Structure 1
Amino acid sequence: MNNVTLNRPIAVFDAGIGSYAIARKIADRFPGQDVLYFADRASFPYGGKGRIELLAVMRSTIERLESFNPPAIVIASNAPSVMVLDDLKGWTGTPIIGVFPPVRRALETSVSKRIAVMGVASLISSSEIRSYVERESEGQSNVDLVSASDLVELVENGAFLTDPDRTLTAVRAKLETLHPDTDVATLSSTHLPWLLRYFEQAGPGLRFLDPADDVVEAVAPYATSGSGAFRTLVSEREGYDLADFQRMLARLGLDLMIERAG
């Protein structure tokens, strides 16, 4: 059990290992900031939930994290950020920061002006992502929405560490579905950047964008003075237990003391 006392920690969560990279970036960017990282594996996958269920999960999780008195909470997941963040901002007084597909940056980076937004199925099929893309692209029609829920599963179940051949095959098959003119893809699930080396191997002519850096800068106004403590909570369910999560951390070379979320 981790008995570290937290002083107004920035809370970061999503449905598993995906959000760790953002939590770590925040800790590195603000060395005195306490950080609470919550891997909500009991709710995995967010991408399989409809809007109403997703909103209920977000509200329950935010209420849990508000007990730590955070100055801000980061929903480190594209699907709920795009689909329900506006509702949450009107529901809680705690500042909520989301992570969003960097569509505008991708179009500015692209030479061909053909890009792909890769994310979980519920995000890709939502009306909210279509509205978001329309706004960010200023009406350009050369933005393709690509479901990558199968790749997210390879991260959360650890296959990307234990079965690299299977993972590379799956990533290559996914990239083969893209329009041939595509030259930039956004990794719009926080799980997908864990597969970056596979993406780069399978698509050497493509550029892949991670929105994590945008989130870190959005946290800056809420940074507080603490001891730099980093605390990890993990919820679990059948097939996604703490022991499995700990083994994944070990394979990644991450030495985190984890606590079971009550």
Structure 2
Amino acid sequence: MQFNLHKPIGVFDAGIGSYAIVEVIRRCFPQQDILYLADRASFPYGAKSHSELADCVSAAIETLARFGAAAVVLASNAPSVMVLDEVEKTQSVPVLGIYPPVAQALGVSRSGVVAVLGVQSLVQSHEIQAYIARESGGRRVEVVNGSPLVQRVEDGTFLSDPSGTQREVNDFIDRLRSELPGLDTCTLSSTHLPWLLPFFERAAPDMVFLDPANALVPRLSPHTTSGSGTTVCIATQSEQFPLAGLRDMFELLGVEIVPHLVEQ
């Protein structure tokens, strides 16, 4: 299988959430060719052990490099924080991660009460605590498990059941505010969560919700080239998460891309 792409930027994650990163790159670099890998065979990254996650991330990067990616974006906060430092040393192409914008969140917070919303593996990792310590200057930052909301994006129910999604987001924010009095700023540190930004903003119009993808653009710029502006999607699958489910999600999102099945 070959694709007529000019020095494409590779983008990957285990699920549909990372397609939001593809849209950011397309908006900022309209002539950039993009090779998007939906690694459904490894979904969810958030439930993997450290070693399992490192193996999945390495395999995905190598797949994108094999198909010609000139640089790769690991479009997921948890593996970027947890394993990218060790994985990128063995790769043949530059790899950029997506990271919780902790310093930015502390900078815009009025109360100084800030939360990083992520998946379970990120929340439970010692790496996120070390990352926060570096980024926060010793200031307190809470890490909160948002995995139940991630599923709303992955299965498309945030689109098919917006009222139910809003209720769940409202309940989530209410619990969060009761546990963290004064909370006014959150980072949406799973690539799925920015899809729910309108729901968060309706649930808490007085709070700030930061998308980690915004910090990617200046870091990615040196790796971009002028191509035809084509986006190609390749995907792995499992019995639980077949290719057909990805096609259905693209249809729900109004995305006109045909995924191509690949083996890692």
Classify the TM-score, shorter chain. over 0.9
Tell me which amino acid in the other structure corresponds to 1:14: D
Partner of 1:220: 221
TM-score by length of 1: 0.95
Shift in Å at residue 3 of structure 1? 6.5
Shift in Å at residue 4 of structure 1? 4.3
Partner of 2:57: 58
C-alpha distance in 2, partners of 1:92/1:4?
A: 21
Shift in Å at residue 243 of structure 1? 2.2
Tell me which amino acid in the other structure corresponds to 2:228: S
C-alpha distance in 1, partners of 2:197/2:239?
A: 28
Consecutive aligned runs of 4 or more in structure 1 exceeding 6 Å deviation: none
Partner of 2:159: 161
Does 1:145 pair with 2:146? no
Report Cα offsets for 1:5-54 as digits up to 9, x if no partner: 11221000001111111112212222222100111111111100111110
Residues 4/64 of structure 1: CA separation in 2 closer, same or farther (3 Å cut): closer
The count of aligned residue pairs is 260
Tell me which amino acid in the other structure corresponds to 1:218: R
Name stretches of at least 5 consecutive residues in structure 1 with no aligned partner: none
C-alpha distance in 1, partners of 2:85/2:134?
A: 16
C-alpha distance in 1, partners of 2:214/2:31?
A: 18
Partner of 1:83: 82
Partner of 2:234: 233
**Matching of residues 1-262 of structure 1 within 5 Å:** 4-141=3-140, 143-178=141-176, 179-262=180-263
Tell me which amino acid in the other structure corresponds to 1:160: F
C-alpha distance in 1, partners of 2:245/2:59?
A: 24
Name stretches of at least 5 consecutive residues in structure 2 with no aligned partner: none
C-alpha distance in 2, partners of 1:159/1:3?
A: 34
| Contact 1:9 1:68 (C-alpha < 8 Å) held by counterparts | no
Deviates more, 1:184-193 or 1:39-48: 39-48
| Contact 2:233 2:259 (C-alpha < 8 Å) held by counterparts | yes
Shift in Å at residue 257 of structure 1? 2.1
Shift in Å at residue 234 of structure 1? 2.0
C-alpha distance in 2, partners of 1:51/1:90?
A: 16
Residues 204/114 of structure 1: CA separation in 2 closer, same or farther (3 Å cut): same
TM-score by length of 2: 0.94
C-alpha distance in 2, partners of 1:32/1:220?
A: 12
**Superposed CA RMSD:** 1.5
SS in 2 for 1:176: helix
Tell me which amino acid in the other structure corresponds to 2:163: D
| Contact 1:4 1:229 (C-alpha < 8 Å) held by counterparts | no
